[in-house]
Structure 1
Amino acid sequence: MSDTVIKMNSISKKIRNTVILNDLNMTVYENDIYGFIGQNGAGKSTTMKIIMSLVKETQGQLELFESTDNQVNRGRIGAIIEQPAFYPYMTAYENLQYYIKFKGIVEANSIENVLKMVGLENAATKKYKNYSLGMKQRLGLALALINNPDLLILDEPLNGLDPQGIAELRETLRHLNKKYGITMVISSHILDELEMIATRYGFIHKGHMIEEITVDELHEKLKKYISLDVENISLATITIEQKLNTVNYKVVNDHTIYLYDYVNDGAKVASTLIKEGVMIEKMNVSNMSLENYYFSLIKGVENNV
């Protein structure tokens, strides 16, 4: 297992009588691109601000880079929590130069280097007001990289971007992770795009982490299946096991089975079941999207309350 970059143990946050985070546990490993998923108000931004030491937890323990000395390790983190304010009539280079002086960053990446890292080396002398939205977001990313971080915290970095801007930023993030080994925590409502780059996921709901899962584990759960609605569930499962020779199925309820084998041979499944006397009410090939998977997790939590 890789080294732990973030470890949140039973973190809670209350503001007056409002519970923002409730006994939250979160683990991010070195080189993860951690997709942080939750509805508005679920606690994503508060969690990120606690990691950044911008908000203090009410209780629990935060470890960064396997240490509780978070003030020291805070310097190893870059972030876009809110869109940074750049001066419109200054160039990209001048804006970054200003921030280095303003923040007093001593061990700074060179401006030329961070602009190259985000693909803006040829637009260094272009005024910020003439940047596209995608370029502005990448300049914000360059600012987050200026202190040469090992960890990036990115809160909704894809918001407001057009498809080209989303694609450019996605490739930039993938490049930073692969080439420079930068660990990332990324929250986004654009789950289809997040699914294209994340290597691990955390699902948060009402301030509580309801699941953490690797991309391989998620893909296993999202794989194609044949959804069967039948009258006699017992007879159907016996037929599947004895006649189709598989136990790779899931009984969802009293009438529904998900069969993960034979997804490209539905005719054989149907004919076998019918031959054995199973009445099929509905049958179709499906696969669950990341969004639907998240909503199914929420539904499961709500039903258990």
Structure 2
Amino acid sequence: MPQAEGIEHHAMAAAGSYVLESDDDVEVTGELPLQMVSKLNSFVNQKLVPSRDGVCVQASSFNFLKAFMEFLTRPEVNIPVFGIGLGPVTRSSVYQASVMGKKVFATILALNVKVAPEARAVAEEFGVKILTDDVMDNLVIQFKSYADDFKKEKEAVEEVIFPCVLRIIPNYVLNAKDPIILVVEVIEGIAKVGTPICIPSRDFMDVGEISAMKINEEVDEVEKGTKVMVKLWHTNLKEEPKKFGRHFTEGDELVSHITKRSLDYLESNYQDKLSVEDRKLVGKLKSLFGIQ
């Protein structure tokens, strides 16, 4: 089935409606005439979400697309749709899906269409999930299952806290109050975005969570011996935001605020990620935090 160049990725947010006629039940075999594009746009306008929090839908004909869109937007199904397309899934289809705000929505539900080999390659590169079937119910079941697995994996990643000890580099505090921005050296362990940071020497005072790290460009993970700029956002709403110079100084070591639960998960699922030195640090932090 040749590529549907004319309507491959349209995403609209205005209101409108359209009742498809019987002659619309044909597969897309070439560039669409403007009249057909107008019909499709009019129908899907009221079905698409304006933000990038929805899946992309690909179908072989207008009627397939119409039925699938109506099915997905039923209250009992409730899968938001951001983008649509007719014809085979191509590289452009994948590019459209790759820009979703939430990764779980970087998904293409392909109903009764083929997937071009190059599209699969690009999807793997950009982290886009392509689900295919000829039956609408099956596609919905596939997506719900994928979304559930994605949620569990995301919760697991958020639960794990890697051990790290950071030394503040003197004279490199770029912002003293929330968000605190400073340059540190990782003297032990692995520093990762999302790690909660505390100061054990000051009664385990929380100073914030690493929300971003940057060397020459933003990075998600930094190992021992690396100097990196970190941004610490205040997340403990029970306490006032901390300020450098008032609550702590350059002489304070910053340590990942581990818990028994986070260490149990780390040791159960990320042993292969930890070096011998990292495992020694885990033991050291267990003792420091009084974790049995």
Shared fold, TM over 0.5: no
Name the larger-Rg structure.
Answer: 2
Whose RCO is larger (CA < 8 A, sep 6+)?
A: 1
TM-score, normalisation: structure 2 = 0.26
